[in-house]
Amino acid sequence: MEPLKNATKWGDRESAHIKVTEPLKKFVFQHLDMDPDTLPKKYPQKKTLDAILGDSHLSATFQSELTQLIDKTQITTDPWTRITNSLGQGYVESLRSRFSDIPAVVELVVFPHSHEEVVKVVQLANKHKVPLSTVAGATSVTLGIEPSLGIIAVNLTQMNKIIDVNPEAQYITVESGILGPDLEAQLKTYGLTLGHFPQSFEYSTLGGWAATRGAGQNSTLYGKIEDMVMGMKFVTGLGETLITRKAPARATGPDINHILLGSEGTFGIITEMTLRVWKTPRKTRLSAFFFKSFEEGLLAYKEILQNGYRPAVMRISDSEETYHNIVAQALMRDTPKMPFSYRMLLGLLEKKGYKDGTRSMGVLSFEGDPALVALTFKQAKKSFNRYKGVYIGSRPAKSWYKRRYELPFVRDPLIDHGILIETFETSTTWDNIMILYRVTRKILKPECPILWTHGSHFYPNGANLYFTLVAPQKEKDEFTQYYRIRKKVLDTFQAYGGTLSHHHGIGRSFISNYLAEIGDEGLKTLRSIKNALDPNKIMNPGIFGLDSKLS
Ligand SMILES: Cc1cc2nc3c(=O)[nH]c(=O)nc-3n(C[C@H](O)[C@H](O)[C@H](O)COP(=O)(O)OP(=O)(O)OC[C@H]3O[C@@H](n4cnc5c(N)ncnc54)[C@H](O)[C@@H]3O)c2cc1C
């Protein structure tokens, strides 16, 4: 079997443009006040493989009935498959895999091939009161697939077919286990796109996006996943089929789609979805801007949106993230060097008051019909001018585009060297955004020598803030260090008007603060829906803390 730490390894690093070179590592170590020659950490091993796999809690009858319903080739107890279906991509999970300290793993993994097979598995699990964990791409960063004892995984990745494409009315019906690249590649043959490109695009699935209310990098134009859904096919926790018929819009009582979207597997399993799609953009214009400060950049972005224009991608990094982006680009080259033209540009900007330490870089993409792209770009530039934004061409934006799924490749080598790295994200209204930004930074900076922030999802009324935290691990205190920081982040978000999450979801990571997020009546509502759809409480136990006492 592979080393356990590879169970949380992110993606295919060999083909990546992003490289963790020795100079880049040294730059990070220096910022964290670590020895520049730090070697990979030897994580003490806490459990043997046998102890991790544990004793079986499943009855022989359940297992034998399962094999009568589902072909044996679709069921496995292979240890590696069990482990990789039990770990998502949160920092805690990266620690667990490195320390061999995995609290529980699923007992077996079933790979259904159809809605009907999902129904059969859920009905059987009800009969035997066996809990189920729905697993798809396993890219959750909120302990969304953390198993409890005696649980089995229903892995949806074999349910990946496009069922119907209607180019005329621009909608598609798709099985929920399809991965991002497979979905977009097939849509491309029809000249269509869904327009949903999360950073985890290559390894996450449609159903996972819907179950967590995810957001893609082009969300300003295409919306979050919940804006794309026209109808769904769903298996409730009782194994019954719930269908919401497709419609462009409806007024038929509360929208059931929105009860299922974001339910993170705890009400049941999404098996199919009908989604609105768009024509592949005829024109895409990538561009980059510098602002004198993060705040001025945000004001310019607000103006564009409030004037009714919609670039597809809108991102802006604060000064620390801007600075590190610029340096890292240079340090990732085989011979670390910044291109001459870029050095000249930065020198010029410095002279004009776009100072290193306060300046902020924005990246945008304008896409769609060429006339609309030209107009949106022109109007955006006007807003930027008003806030002293300076257009620096397309190159930095093209470079971002090329590497847009790759920053996570940096994470594993850093954790290997005893570094904590994790992201948290929130959203708030324009009138509050700088307050939330400043206070979060003030509270976290003493513990996190590297603290990046960017906004990447923008609305006429506000935006998200995405924080990347990097700190040296506290030796022998790695888990509690993280839990302490996490609590600080969540408390700060809530105390200063942010949401617990804009697109990662709640999972099991944020339940300490969930009651404060939705209130007693909100919790009562969710619990009553859970009781109706999953009365035996077998679906993803622990999600949102619905089964436990929240305080
Ligand atoms: C490096 C990295 C970058 C990321 N970038 C983004 C980003 O840009 N935007 C974003 O929104 N998120 C992002 N994420 C978070 C993660 O990728 C998303 O939450 C994603 O939507 C999860 O999809 P998945 O297929 O991997 O689901 P999983 O991780 O397998 O499951 C996530 C949750 O959804 C449930 N679930 C999955 N499929 C179904 C289904 N069909 N029916 C019912 N429940 C289901 C699971 O039980 C679990 O609770 C990122 C994560 C990583 C590690």
| Angle between helix 22-31 and helix 319-331 axes, rounded to 10 deg | 150
Report the alpha-carbon distance of residue 83 to residue 100 in Å, rounded.
11
Mean pLDDT calculated for residue range 68-80: 98
Pocket of ligand 1 (CB under 6 A): 88-89, 134-141, 144-145, 156, 176, 198-200, 204-205, 207-209, 211-212, 214-215, 264-265, 269-270, 408, 503-505, 540, 543
Confidence of residue 13 (pLDDT cuts 50, 70, 90): low
On average, the pLDDT of the chain sits at 95
With the CA atoms of 374, 378, 380 and 384 taken in that order, what torsion angle do they form, in degrees rounded to the nearest 10?
Answer: 150
Condensed to tens digits (0 to 9), the pLDDT of residues 387-411 reads 999 999 999 999 899 989 988 888 9
Distance CA 155, CA 137 (A): 9
d(CA 237, CA 247): 25
Inform me whether the pLDDT recorded for 233 exceeds 70: yes
How far is ligand 1, taken at its centre, from the CA of residue 346, in Å?
38
pLDDT at 332: 79
What is the distance between the alpha carbons of residues 129 and 536, in angstroms, rounded to a whole number?
7
Burial class of 7 by CB neighbour count within 10 A (0 to 12, 13 to 18, 19+): buried
**Two tokens, residue 382:** 């006007």
Which residue bears the tokens 């963790």?
A: 20
H or E, element range at 364: strand 360-368
Q: How confident is the model at residue 98 (pLDDT cuts 50, 70, 90)?
A: very high
As for the ipTM of the complex, it is: 0.99
Q: What is the pLDDT of residue 23?
A: 87
Mutate to test the pocket of ligand 1, among 133, 139, 142, 174 (most ligand atoms within 8 A of CB): 139
One-letter amino acid for residue 222 of the chain:
Y
Find the 60 Cα to ligand 1 centroid distance in Å. Answer: 32
Q: How far does residue 293's CA lie from ligand 1's centre (Å)?
A: 33
Q: Residue 86: which residues within 8 A CB-CB, separation 6 or more?
A: 102, 104, 105, 106, 133, 145, 146, 147, 153
Which residue type does 302 have?
K
Average pLDDT over residues 441-464: 98
For residue 17, the model assigns a pLDDT of 73
Residue nearest to atom 37 of ligand 1 (CA): 208
C-alpha 35 – ligand 1 centre gap (Å): 36
Helix H or strand E encompassing 209: helix 206-212
Model pLDDT, residue 550: 53
468 DSSP β-pair partners: 423, 452
The 3-state DSSP class for residue 354 equals coil
Evaluate if residue 551 carries a pLDDT over 50.
Answer: no
Q: Give the pLDDT mean for 223-238.
A: 98
Residues paired with 171 in a beta bridge? 166, 276
Q: Model confidence over 283-332: pLDDT tens digits?
A: 999 999 999 999 999 999 999 999 999 999 999 999 999 999 888 888 87
Q: How far apart are the C-alpha atoms of 173 and 164, rounded to whole Å?
A: 5
- Centre of ligand 1 to C-alpha 333, Å, is 32
Instruction: Give the Cα separation of 119 and 121 in Å (integer).
Output: 6
Which of 134, 314, 400 to mutate for ligand 1's pocket (most ligand atoms within 8 Å of CB)?
134
- Cα 42 to chain centroid, rounded: 29
- How many CB atoms are located within 10 Å of the residue 129 CB? 11
Q: Which of 191-205, 285-299, 336-350 has the lowest mean pLDDT?
A: 336-350
Give residue 137 CA to ligand 1 midpoint distance, Å.
7
**Helix ranges restricted to H, 44-179:** 49-53, 60-69, 79-84, 91-99, 115-128
Is the separation of the CB atoms in 461 and 430 below 8 Å?
Answer: yes
State in Å: Cα 341 to ligand 1 middle.
40
Nearest CA to ligand 1 atom 10: 214
Q: Which atom of ligand 1 is nearest to the CA of 217?
A: 8
Tell which atom from ligand 1 comes closest to the C-alpha of 543. 49
In this structure, the residue with its CA closest to atom 11 of ligand 1 is 214
Q: Supply the pLDDT for residue 549.
A: 58
Q: Report the share of the chain in percent with pLDDT over 90.
A: 89
Of 159, 138, 50, residue with least CA distance to 86: 138
